[in-house]
Chain A
Amino acid sequence: MATLADSFLADLDELSDNEAVVIEEEDVDAGNMEEDVDGEMADIENLNYDDLDSVSKLQKTQRYVDIMQKVEDALQKGSDISNLGMVLEDDPEYQLIVDCNALSVDIENEIIIIHNFIRDKYRLKFPELESLVHHPIDYARVVKKIGNEMDLTLVDLEGLLPSAIIMVVSVTASTTSGKPLPEEILDKTIDACDRALTLDAAKKKVLDFVESRMGYIAPNLSTIVGSAVAAKLMGTAGGLAALAKMPACNVQLLGAKKKNLAGFSTATSQFRVGYIEQTEIFQSTPPSLRMRACRLLASKSTLAARVDSTRGDPSGNNGRALREEIRKKIEKWQEPPPAKQPKPLPVPDSEPKKKRGGRRLRKMKERYAITDMRKLANRMQFGVPEESSLGDGLGEGYGMLGQAGSGKLRVSVGQSKLAAKVAKKFKEKNYGSSGASSGLTSSLAFTLVQGIELSNPQAHAHQLGSGTQSTYFSETGTFSKIKRT
């Protein structure tokens, strides 16, 4: 027990030393440094929860301390617009910003780990609190405020939580099954809370710094979505160049939280929006248009990011123009539809009446019906290639017209009413004689060259038959063999 207590005390000493280091901006001693891991989140196997340090290593890493120091310096120096001529990637400030972006992501992960730690320790005292207060930083603050107190009426949670939640917390605390914590565990928990709050403050500082520089780094992008969101987008993408290379659909989803826990319904989950959700343009559009606005924002911000990555427009005019465009489009969507004008009546007798039947209509349709010749030309015999007008498969095909074995020498043109009408008109025009023609004349003139073939049109009318007769299958043939089984 003594050794354990000693090791705890030693831990506490180290912790206070480290915090002093961070606040006083001194370089960390080599002795206090533990493994110089990149500050990535601890493995899940490393559940040595007795020691906070083995779980949360970020604050001790060299990288963290360096970057924090540089950020402090830069914030104190104020804005610095000297190096416009340099290529963006060589600028040391740009490098710092890239590092800051990565660091802010790491800090977030670290805060989650610490939150888990605090939660596990505090479960003995107040298990229901974790389900009432979800946000890690709020949870840490509440835990710090409550401490080991059993009676929540003595604790003032104003300002930390919304009043509704304070009420619920107080009510739950009065019926909680938890017991007060032992002293060491309480100290560790409070320590962890402090650490979480420090990390949160550091993250805010880093983000502020990036925001302030965002207007210089990516002016067009920050005009459209705002510097905070622009900084986050850049951080998650891994740099301005990487952001510019992404297609707009990916930019839309940067930072989208995947909260689909297994077994929970996705019917209520909000549509997939990432950091774009935090822009003021998105927040100010009515909910019904949010999906379209999100897509529009993502596409225009991608364009702006591309302009920024090549330093095409340092003044930000492009960004302002795009923002104006977005605003106009959203306004246009919200316009009410144009008022309906009563339609004027149609001109009388302009549409001919549709006759749907009757003898007259039938006779009229006969003039345009498909003739027997056309029917034969449309059909083909199986296995017999058809002749065509230009020969060799080119031109119009003749089908069964004029095929050998069809029993006809010539196809007689059936009575075409249309042709008859046309011929009559034509005859009247050309041969409109004065009327002095004898009844014995005819328009046919017998010469030696022109023969006359009189064929009986009825004889071969069966060849076409009715539409129901099969032209492929034999009408008379039967099955060759029927077996009884």
Chain B
Amino acid sequence: MSYLMTTLTKKREVDTIIRDTIDKVLVLRFGRASDPVCLHLDDLLRKSSREVSKFATVALVDIDSEEIQVYVNYFDISFIPSTIFFFNAHHMKMDSGTADHTKWVGAFQKKQDFIDVVEAIYRGAMKGKLIVSCPLPSERIPKYQLLYKDV
């Protein structure tokens, strides 16, 4: 709990971190600090950031900042919190049985779940895949309904 997570508010910072994380999975959480689910996820991320530090970097992006809205629109973030994975500046997708493969919506139930997900992404990325399947059983994956143009 003594680790301060890097919080990004500017577009330039986000660009730098995506570009500069080499051979490590980059975990970007898009959310705001006031939301309880976000807080739960943040807590998990903070606790496990040291353990995965050898193959992953974790950062928080505040979606309330105006510069970040570009990314919010690009990644189509509508649910808070959303986590997006990168590897060597490639966007990694994960099929977890939900509708949206490009991001992970919601928090994790356990710290180990998060570590498993990151590990799966890492293995897939090292093999050269751009999309991996989720190692978690479906009970532990948060479910949500995707709205499409308010339908």
Contacts and interface: CB of A to CB of B under 8 A. Distances in A.
A344 B123 contact: no
Contact of B54 (A341, A342, A346, A349): A346
Contacts of B51: 342, 344-345
Given A342-B50, A342-B51, A348 B122 contact: yes
A347 interface: yes
Contacts of B52: 344-345
Contacts of B130: none
A345 B126 contact: no
Interface in A306-337: none
**Most chain B CB atoms below 10 A, which of A342, A345, A349:** A345
A425 to B, nearest CB: 25
Contacts, number: 24
Contacts of B126: 348-349
B77 interface: no
B53 interface: yes
Contacts of A346: 54
B55 A347 contact: yes
Q: Interface size class for chain A?
A: under 10
Interface in A342-371: 342, 344-349
Contacts of B119: 348
B91 to A, nearest CB: 20
Contact of B123 (A341, A342, A345, A349): A349
Nearest to A341: B50
Contacts of A349: 123, 126
B72 interface: no
A347 B54 contact: yes
Nearest to A343: B51
B33 interface: no
Contacts of A344: 50-54
Interface string B114-128: 010001001100100
B50 A348 contact: no
Contacts of B50: 341-342, 344
A346 B53 CA distance: 9
B110 to A, nearest CB: 15
Nearest to B119: A348
A348 B51 CA distance: 12
A341 B50 CA distance: 10
A341 B2 CA distance: 11
Contacts of B55: 345, 347-348
Interface in B26-61: 50-55
Interface string B76-92: 00000000000000000
A402 B50 CA distance: 63
Contacts of A345: 51-52, 54-55, 115
Nearest to B52: A345
B10 to A, nearest CB: 28
Interface string A446-457: 000000000000
**Most chain A CB atoms below 10 A, which of B51, B54, B122:** B54
Contacts of B53: 344
Interface in A197-216: none
A348 B123 contact: yes
Contacts of A347: 54-55, 122
Interface string A151-184: 0000000000000000000000000000000000
Contacts of A341: 50
Contacts of B123: 348-349
Given A347-B54, A348-B122, A348-B123, 5 more contacts: A344-B54, A345-B54, A347-B55, A347-B122, A348-B126
15 contacts: A342-B50, A342-B51, A344-B50, A344-B51, A344-B52, A344-B53, A345-B52, A345-B54, A345-B55, A345-B115, A346-B54, A347-B122, A348-B119, A349-B123, A349-B126
Interface of A: 341-342, 344-349
3 smallest A-B Cβ distances: which pairs?
Answer: A347-B55, A344-B53, A344-B54
